[in-house]
Amino acid sequence: MSKKIFFSGVQPSGNLHLGNYLGSIKNWVDIQDEYQAICCVVNLHAITVPQDPSELKKKTIEVAKLYLASGLDPEKVIIFRQSDVPQHTELMWLLNTITKTGELFKMTQFKDKSGIQENGVTEKISVGAGLLNYPILMAADILLYDTDLVPVGEDQTQHLELTKTLARRFNNRFAKERALLKIPEIFVSKIGKKIMSLTEPNKKMSKSAESPNSRIELLDKPEVVRKKIMRAVTDSENKIYYSDKKEKAGLRNLLNIFSIITGKAPEEIAVDYQDKGYGDLKKDLAEELVEYLKPIQKKFSEISDEEVLDIFEKSKRTLIPRAERKITELNRAMGLE
């Protein structure tokens, strides 16, 4: 029996951080033997907001290097650049014709980024159509490869539900005898929910956050990691214990990070430091993080751009025939061929 298919991707915008790694990439590494993993650098998604072309090209290669440095094996995993497979945008158009505009306007991420509210009032001057259609391209990415499992952050589950809706709608209209689009299963990582901003611990760690002090980036130098952790928000109580209280969000975040990278329960770590201060906890956490990131950074430095481009080219040759077959099936079902 062939392996089930797993699909995921990361945008090459901003710098990948600890939350991206622990909440997403590490999970891909852990299941790469169990699934046929297809891991994309989603550069077409990145251009839904303005990008500097030279920086986008550089970041696309950097993200792929981080995939490899994190432990993804190109002999087991298909690592590719989204723009190398034109069938992604071709399928997006087919799905675009069966998507209702009301479904897109309801997307929470679109409303957050555009400033458009439920009453139609907008706080921003201009919103690109690409941002509105982002979820359709995401659906195309997934459905093109008959994906079985899609790991997402909690903030992306609404997009995945739309993907499932569009697959069902296409099958009901054009493929009643034999479903042509597979309904994927959603997997939400619990770990990803625990990695919060170092400066605003009630928000997720994000590569788009204005302050770089809000996140530990995977390529941060040791001295930068130490400074960011020492500056991390805690509270004025200066008492270490694990709690769900809102005012302890900063401390809880540090304990959760400490727990995830060491494998020790956050409650146990809190007990270890209950007679110490926040400074001691932060210093030790910073050193743990420096050591944790060291192997990734070392491997990253050893990977050349040429190696990544070779992997992209090989993946392109693998995926395009597969994608063409799927598009041909769908075109015939819709009467286009």
| Residues forming the active site | 113, 204, 207
Closest CA to 184 of 145, 219, 220, 225: 145
Report in angstroms the alpha-carbon separations of 240 from 192, 252, 263, 264. 23, 9, 19, 16
- Cα separation of 310 and 293, whole Å? 26
Give the amino acid at 258. F
> Does residue 186 sit in helix, strand or coil?
strand
For residue 152 the two structure tokens come to 């997402």
Burial-class residue 50 by CB neighbours within 10 Å (0-12, 13-18, 19+): exposed
For residue 155 the two structure tokens come to 């903030």
> Are 216 and 287 contacting, i.e. CB atoms less than 8 angstroms apart?
no
- Cα separation of 259 and 262, whole Å? 5
Sign of CA dihedral 156, 178, 90, 80: positive
> Are 303 and 265 contacting, i.e. CB atoms less than 8 angstroms apart?
no
Closest CA to 175 of 332, 325, 323: 332
What does the angle CA 110 – CA 116 – CA 118 come to, to the nearest 5 degrees? 100
Closest CA to 14 of 148, 308, 262, 49: 49
